[in-house]
Amino acid sequence: LIAYDTLWAEEQPQLIEQGKESILDLVKETQRHGIKLIGIIFPQSPHYQNTGAFGRYGMSRSQAIKIMEWLNEIQKEYEHFYLMDENKMGNHDYTQEMAFDYDHLSFLGATQLSSRLDSLLHTLD
């Protein structure tokens, strides 16, 4: 299921730029207050790999790659920001049983993601 035209981000780049500005503002503000910040890219159906969409409400996959590259650069620049990519462009290890639908985890999927997030949190003393 793809709910929107995947080219919306290319046709309205100002929306992406506004989003990036908001994220960068949040990263800088949390840094000023000594708060660690974790960004999570949640898993979605791996079948999106066979489409041009990153996900259900997706932008194009090529646009999503650019944003993830930008987020990785932010992660390198700001040591209190951590990016947890559980989607991996659809190459994740969340099974169909771990999904409630195309873009929501079931109890099993939420348990796996929560366990991984907990492991990350334990490394952030």
Neighbours of 97 (CB within 10 A): 9
pLDDT of residue 90: 94
pLDDT digits (tens, 9 = 90+) for 41-92: 999 999 999 998 898 887 899 999 999 999 999 999 999 999 999 999 999 9
Neighbours of 54 (CB within 10 A): 26
Give the rounded distance of the alpha carbon of 109 from its chain centre.
16
**Placement of tokens 């090529």 in the chain:** 62
CA 50 → CA 1, 55, 59, distances in Å?
12, 11, 14
Mean pLDDT of the chain: 93
State residue 106 phi and psi, 5-degree precision: -85, 180
Q: Which two tokens stand for residue 53?
A: 């969409």
